[in-house]
Amino acid sequence: MMLQDKVAIVTGGAKGMGSAIAKRFAQEGAKVVIADISMAEANETLAEIQAGGGEGLVCECDVTSSDSVREMVAATVDRFGGLDILVNNAGSIVGAKGTTPNSVTAISEDSWDRVVDLNLKGGFLCAKEAVPHMKSRGGGRIVNISSLGAIHPPAPQPHYHAAKAGVLGLTYDMACELGPHGIQVNAIMPGPIRTPFYDGILAGKSDEEVEGFFKMLGSLCPLQRMGTPEDIAGVALFLVSDLSSYVTGVVIPVSGGLPLQPSAH
């Protein structure tokens, strides 16, 4: 097992990419903390981990709150004795009051703050609390989840894309600072991944319309398919395992080849 006895925190680990990452890490022997605000789904993920013989913990955590993050990291260390891995996956495109405006002129200040705090500030707060524990163990791994939209926006979402671009800057900076302490910091830029991210866009659509939408989106990629949460989990595993022992400050697109365009058939 590649992560035997490692302790990992996965924020936003209740569903989608976070859940897939948590389960994959557990399969490789890690003790996994699922940090999320969606308790029912977090407990479902934990139950799957335990059914497979893995070990984990659910922590209710709002990554935009320093107190909540501090309590979550403290609970992790209290339960498992330390911390080796942090995956900053928590994020959302949904702003204040559940809105998803897509124009710079339509986004309210509250929505801007909510999206930027969740997608960027949360990663900073989690790293701030996690790093001292990693230093005490002689090293660690941090994986930040950005988005292909950080460098190649598919449609206007300036608050979301600006925050995800900020994640890249945070990754580069922490990689430089923390490398001498044995802490490797890398990022993943997911492209079109089939997750609950699209639920708001597809609300009210029939099953046939939903499948048609994902088929269309997948056809835009050179690999001609949508990505899956497991595609992200595999790359995350690489970045936190010994397979990437000399890799830091790297951003990996997991996007089916985007922004390259498929060749004409």
Which residues are part of the catalytic machinery?
Answer: 160
How many whole angstroms separate alpha carbon 150 and alpha carbon 171? Answer: 13
Place of tokens 């200040």: 109
What are the b/e assignments for 13-40, b being 16+ CB within 10 Å?
bbbbbbbbbbbbbbbbebbbbbbbebee
What are the b/e assignments for 93-131, b being 16+ CB within 10 Å?
bbbeeeeebeeeeebeeebbebbbbbbbbbbbbbbebbb
Asked if residues 67 and 43 have their Cβ atoms less than 8 Å apart, the reply is: no
No. of helices (H) and no. of strands (E), the chain: 9, 7
